[in-house]
Amino acid sequence: MRRARAWRAGMWRRGRIVAAVAVLCALVMAFNTRVPNGVGNLGSLLQTVLPWMGLSVLALMAAAVARRSALAAVAVLVPAVTWCSLFAGVFLDKRSSGGDLVVVGHNVHEENRDPRGTARALAASGADVVALEELSRPAVSTYERELAPTYRYSAVREGVGVWSKHPLKAVRPVDIMPWTRALRATVDTPKGPVALYVAHLASVRVMPTSGFTTERRNASAGKLADAVRAERLARVVVAGDFNGAAEDSALDPLTRQLRSTQRDAGAGFGFTWPASFPVVRLDQIMVKGMTPVSSWTLPATGSDHLPVAASLRW
């Protein structure tokens, strides 16, 4: 009897380290926006991979079981509840039918070995507008040839381009980097004009010495945010490779002006990169003055990114 009481008492004394780590994980998740970027842009890196912190809950629960610790098991409930409060709504299917305009965005990858197949897959998507990034010069003619039967109107500015079933007007590059990585066009739809921005923000890297290198990306996002803020049309679509999650607070100057189609009208996280096993959503379709009806990813092409699509309503 005495041994049984001692064993039960030990369940509440063992696993203190596991319990402490569980509480720390919960605090990091709950206050992810407070994690500073001063050292290696850790805040941005955390927000980019935040959904994967759910794996830490599973690991901690396994540690609690291995330690046979009631204290640790109860403590693990704290990050579990925190993670669910952040992401449980993501798994609700918010997609519906209908919509006035379907937009597809895709980083087609400069080293894509099958641009013809990629173009044909995009043409078969049923989209009204296709926005492409990372177009290589040798592949542009292939995309133009393959997309022309479906999309009468097109415009390419260096590595970015748009193909549309509706007329394009006022096409111009947007100055977000020293070379052209963004363009702006008016899509003249039957229900009225839409300002479309196609953008490829600067690349990021995770380096052992400097951490998550986002400075150039953040600067390009700020310039794109200025362009969107100055836009005179009421309806705006921004499609592109943001090289970061929409939840990254470093992108707030841009994303706070817009609605995320995946967050408002998707199902699941909608990860897009890498295409072979997506772990993060770098590719976004965001809108202002329009209502997202549905958001989804398309099957893999010859690119290292998955295409994204969204149906929008006036």
The DSSP H or E segment spanning 188 is: strand 182-189
Q: Which three-class secondary structure string do you get for 170-187? A: EEEECCCCCCCCEEEEEE
What pLDDT shows up at residue 10? 57
Domain total of the chain: 2
Q: Alpha-carbon Rg of the chain, whole angstroms?
A: 23
What pLDDT shows up at residue 11? 63
Same-domain check for residues 166 and 282: yes
Same-domain check for residues 148 and 61: no
Q: Tell me if 199 sits within 8 A of 240, measured CB to CB.
A: yes
What distance in Å separates the CA atoms of residue 207 and residue 237, rounded to the nearest whole number?
33
In a domain, 224, yes or no: yes
Same-domain check for residues 125 and 245: yes
In a domain, 251, yes or no: yes
CATH number, domain of 260, equals: 3.60.10.10
In a domain, 261, yes or no: yes
In a domain, 46, yes or no: yes
In a domain, 260, yes or no: yes
What pLDDT shows up at residue 7? 44
Same-domain check for residues 165 and 32: no
What pLDDT shows up at residue 3? 54
Q: Would you tell me how many other CB atoms lie within 10 Å of the CB of residue 148?
A: 14
In a domain, 96, yes or no: no
Per-residue pLDDT of the chain (314 residues; tens, 9 = 90+): 555 454 455 567 688 999 999 999 999 999 999 999 988 999 999 999 999 999 999 999 999 999 899 999 999 999 999 999 999 999 999 999 999 999 999 999 999 999 999 999 999 999 999 999 999 999 999 999 999 999 999 999 999 999 999 999 999 999 999 999 999 999 999 999 999 999 999 999 988 878 899 999 999 999 999 999 999 999 999 999 999 999 999 999 999 999 999 999 999 999 999 999 999 999 999 999 999 999 999 999 999 999 999 999 99
Same-domain check for residues 163 and 269: yes
- Strand, coil or helix: what is 280? strand
- Picking from 28, 58, 91, the residue at the C-terminal end of a domain is 91
